[in-house]
Chains A and B, each alone.
Chain A
């Protein structure tokens, strides 16, 4: 019971992070500034949602833990690639 409620709390926090991070996309700031907000929204928000699911359905823990690891690595490295490409000094190598 408590884990189910906690699961919903984490899912709620994740959704709040999603909306907050995505709202920065509509502002007039630089690409890099938006990337900082998106790392809150996409990476941390999604990890919180999957962690909430982990508390709700613990029998699927192995796939959910794998999802958390994949989210952390994939989103972070994509953020680095976008940051690298956004600077004009990149040599495209």
Chain B
């Protein structure tokens, strides 16, 4: 099932790039999507389709959230900084970890510094400093 998702992503990029739905172009697109190399680990352990759909949904929700956070940072300066450790959800494949890091780093208030193999993301936050 994940193989289909991967194929669809490759085809989507191909059609966005060429913007041509002629039979010849569709054939070339499918051919190229099939012969592009696939990583062995994702082939052996693709991860659950439910996790993939959820991660893709989170990536889409992250877009408006990123703009809201950007406006918050611009309107009220966030001068405080700290680093926190976030737990990685169980059974994450390398592809899902990539999407997790993408979603966290895409929003302006948080940046992933490092992924620890033991199952933690090191995340740098900016915060509003409390008045003391």
Using CB atoms and an 8 Å cutoff, list the residues of chain A in contact with chain B. Answer: 17, 20, 30, 32-33, 35-37, 39-40, 43-44, 62-63, 65-66, 69, 72-73, 76-77, 79-80, 83-84, 87, 89-90
Contacts and interface: CB of A to CB of B under 8 A. Distances in A.
Contacts, number: 73
A84 B81 CA distance: 16
A66 B14 CA distance: 10
Give chain A's interface secondary structure class: helix
Contact of B16 (A43, A66, A89): A66
Contacts of A44: 66-67, 70, 108
Contacts of A65: 16
B58 to A, nearest CB: 14
B101 A20 contact: no
Interface stretch (B25-33, B44-52, B111-119): B111-119
Given A32-B81, A83-B111, A83-B112, A72 B16 contact: no
Contact of B111 (A62, A72, A79): A79
Contacts of A79: 105, 111
Contacts of A63: 16-17, 19
B62 to A, nearest CB: 9
A91 to B, nearest CB: 10
A32 to B, nearest CB: 5
Interface string B66-109: 11001001100010010000000000000000000110011011
Nearest to B123: A83
